[in-house]
Structure 1
């Protein structure tokens, strides 16, 4: 992947757009469309075209629609993102179902009406839920597991029945401008849909997926899954900072290290060829390697929690109940550098230089990532590789 070492705004933005498949002006280069079944299973986390663009979409003439009802099974641990979208009149009238704080939320735009309503049960519990959305006269009804969760009434003098044209449906994104939304939200959704019945139609869906669709694993657990193909990177100015110089910056990683392999995290200082800090796991033989500039510290043990504390000229590493302290003359003033802007990456080391060719991407599940005691959401990363799942990991149980 391209380098993330330069913090210059224009260069970094251009790089991230390139990595995400966009040109410098935000245009999609495009891939051939292919047909895909709408009955699932469908992994919504496999987004490839851009943040808001749907994973898949379909359209049908309104004259062919006999039932304005769609139902599907849905499962996620993700608290926020787009699930299902529909519109008529090429987006003049539209509807979107999202999650916010785990709760279902419907936003609807129709004629001169713009409405948003939230409620019902939390759906980000990792269990399968039956979701049904229907239009019943002047009302839009959302049912979850057979119980009414939300009912929205819409009536306007400008509203008229749409009997011609087409209806468009989309999963994992929207087909209207973000400016039309009642309230903004984080669009990425790490979730799965299966057994979909969309308006009782058999019309195939279209997608621009590259390669095979991701599976929906039989069992999942909360966490961020790295399959060994990419990383997620943050500018430290977008993360919590230190309260006091003595307290420093603390980064906590939770997970079973015996089921991980590769680079857990790296911290890069702008203008430096080598990473400032890296933590790698090798399970053959078992060891955790902390590298500070060119100095390695190796401990031969596994962990369920690893904590790094970055001080002015010192790094502390806690592996479960084991405490280690490292003082090196060339260690930078971490609190100051953090505030000025560093690149903190999880799952690998940004850069494409020759010296980085032996660095492994992480393969495994980080059950929880925290900075200064606050959970880190990979959906809000400066850059996240398409292979990384932000909120769920495959589970053996």
Structure 2
């Protein structure tokens, strides 16, 4: 059962997303881009800022159909956004739990609808939006999956002013969304048809563009350009007497630092795990005051686990089920420090004061990171460098 849509003008806003296809071309001087090529939506510096945007007058729009190919392992994030009337009328297409979701806003009315197949399976899917009378239809792999609309007695002009489009982010305050969402999306788009416009898109300058690999697998990929940082207080399980961090890997094709942790009590880095490059092996180090421990394991480890108890830290590495190295060191009040909040990083050594301006960045793939048995979503980090792919690794 469809909802009645507001106005043909807003229908056109939602579905008019089409530029002729072509290779990705960036003009470094003007920061313009042809959006018909291969696009990595995670190429953005800020959480809500889009990767690329476009503004055009309604009078230049001839086509009201849009389609593109989309690939991700990420279950949640923003795909694209459109608005008119200076952001008063807006539309968002996103994923939630891997399922497509559309949100609309016009004046005081808001609508959200979701449905269709899960798209976060790492294969390319064709998404298409088009108008059907007063309704907007979303097709997935040539099958209609969502149909939504609204109705207003006096919709106003439909072909005046400008539309704005954005990929991977919003151009309005995120508080306007009917249902909040984590916008970060580790996904790629190609063969896009976005409006019948020749206008190039604007992009936000980046430290380093992350490419889209031809083949991917689930995991978290660190390019060697940055890290992610969590606050341990987000994982403060009051009823438990220990915290377990487990990291899985299936290859020794990595280098740099996997994990580090900073103590505000000692104002120093107290834990680090990474590569002993000279001997090509895994090292782990705990250093608190006059108590220190350094252990070594195989670089092609399948898992290592750090257990934080009330007054100690234990670290062990494994090859399959065989423990190759295990060490335990007393650390006074470490579990309470965890509950109070400490910086915990993956993919590099924390910098001064435990900030994200670190060093010894990791290059390579981790198959999974778990805290208390729950897989960690790097998109939930306090800080994530855009060079880190949260849900996919190149094969």
Settle same-fold status: TM greater than 0.5: yes
Q: 1: distance between equivalents of 2:357 and 2:104?
A: 49
What secondary structure, in the 3-state scheme, does the structure 1 residue paired with 2:90 have? strand
What secondary structure, in the 3-state scheme, does the structure 2 residue paired with 1:258 have? coil
Question: Which has the larger displacement, 304-313 or 381-390?
Answer: 304-313
**Gapped regions of structure 1 (runs ≥ 5):** 1-30
Question: Which has the larger displacement, 151-160 or 181-190?
Answer: 151-160
Q: 2: distance between equivalents of 1:66 and 1:103?
A: 30
1:259 corresponds to = 253
1:328 corresponds to = 329
1:109 corresponds to which of 95, 98, 105: 105
Structure with higher strand content:
2
Q: 2: distance between equivalents of 1:282 and 1:328?
A: 20
What secondary structure, in the 3-state scheme, does the structure 2 residue paired with 1:292 have? strand
- How is 1:80-229 mapped onto 2 (pairs within 5 angstroms)? 80-210=76-206, 213-229=209-225
Given the superposition, is the C-alpha separation of residues 212 and 339 from structure 1 closer, same or farther in structure 2, using an over 3 Å criterion?
closer
2:294 corresponds to = 296
How far 1:257 sits from its partner (Å)? Answer: 4.5
Q: 2: distance between equivalents of 1:202 and 1:194?
A: 17
2:53 corresponds to which of 51, 54, 57: 57
Q: 2: distance between equivalents of 1:179 and 1:205?
A: 25
What secondary structure, in the 3-state scheme, does the structure 1 residue paired with 2:222 have? strand
The Cα offsets for residues 334-366 of structure 1, whole Å up to 9 and x where unpaired, read as 32221121111101111149xx99952111111
Q: Report if the CA contact (8 A) 2:306-2:313 is conserved.
A: no
What secondary structure, in the 3-state scheme, does the structure 2 residue paired with 1:90 have? helix
2:33 corresponds to = 36
2:16 corresponds to = none
Q: 2: distance between equivalents of 1:288 and 1:55?
A: 36
2:234 corresponds to = 238
Q: Report if the CA contact (8 A) 2:41-2:187 is conserved.
A: yes
Q: Report if the CA contact (8 A) 2:351-2:358 is conserved.
A: no
Q: 1: distance between equivalents of 2:339 and 2:42?
A: 32
Q: 2: distance between equivalents of 1:298 and 1:189?
A: 35
What secondary structure, in the 3-state scheme, does the structure 1 residue paired with 2:312 have? coil
Q: 2: distance between equivalents of 1:359 and 1:47?
A: 21
The Cα offsets for residues 44-76 of structure 1, whole Å up to 9 and x where unpaired, read as 00112x211211011221111112221111111
The Cα offsets for residues 102-151 of structure 1, whole Å up to 9 and x where unpaired, read as 00000011244210001011111111111111233310111111000100
How far 1:203 sits from its partner (Å)? Answer: 1.6
Q: Report if the CA contact (8 A) 1:76-1:125 is conserved.
A: yes
TM-score, normalized by length of structure 1? 0.85
Q: 1: distance between equivalents of 2:297 and 2:130?
A: 58
Given the superposition, is the C-alpha separation of residues 348 and 52 from structure 1 closer, same or farther in structure 2, using an over 3 Å criterion?
same
2:349 corresponds to = 349
How far 1:179 sits from its partner (Å)? Answer: 2.3
What secondary structure, in the 3-state scheme, does the structure 2 residue paired with 1:275 have? strand
1:249 aligns with 2:250: no
The Cα offsets for residues 236-291 of structure 1, whole Å up to 9 and x where unpaired, read as 0012536432xx11101111341111111011111424321111124653311110
1:279 corresponds to = 273
Q: 2: distance between equivalents of 1:322 and 1:283?
A: 22
Q: Report if the CA contact (8 A) 2:210-2:387 is conserved.
A: no
Q: 1: distance between equivalents of 2:305 and 2:122?
A: 27
1:4 corresponds to = none
1:376 aligns with 2:390: no
What secondary structure, in the 3-state scheme, does the structure 1 residue paired with 2:151 have? coil
TM-score, normalized by length of structure 2? 0.85
Q: Report if the CA contact (8 A) 2:228-2:383 is conserved.
A: yes
Q: 2: distance between equivalents of 1:240 and 1:104?
A: 32
Count of paired positions? 359
Q: 2: distance between equivalents of 1:127 and 1:300?
A: 33
How far 1:302 sits from its partner (Å)? Answer: 2.3
1:46 corresponds to which of 19, 30, 43: 43
Given the superposition, is the C-alpha separation of residues 378 and 127 from structure 1 closer, same or farther in structure 2, using an over 3 Å criterion?
same
What secondary structure, in the 3-state scheme, does the structure 1 residue paired with 2:110 have? strand
The Cα offsets for residues 81-120 of structure 1, whole Å up to 9 and x where unpaired, read as 1101111112121111000010000001124421000101
1:310 corresponds to = 308
RMSD of aligned C-alpha atoms? 2.2
What secondary structure, in the 3-state scheme, does the structure 2 residue paired with 1:265 have? strand
